Structure 1
Amino acid sequence: METMFHTQTLLIIAAGAIATYLTRIGGYVFITRMKRIPPRAEAALNAVPAAVLTTLVAPAAVTGGLDVTLTMAVALLAGLRISLLPMLGVGWIVVMILRHVIG
Structure 2
Amino acid sequence: MLLRRMAVLIAATGLLALPGTTALAAPSDQDASYLKAAHQSNLAEIAGGKIAQQKGTSEQVKNLGARFIADHTKLDTALRQTAEGLGVELPSAPNSEQQALAQRRRPDFQ
Q: TM-score, normalised by structure 1?
A: 0.33
User: Rg bigger for which structure?
Assistant: 1
Say which structure is richer in helix.
1
Q: TM-score, normalised by structure 2?
A: 0.31
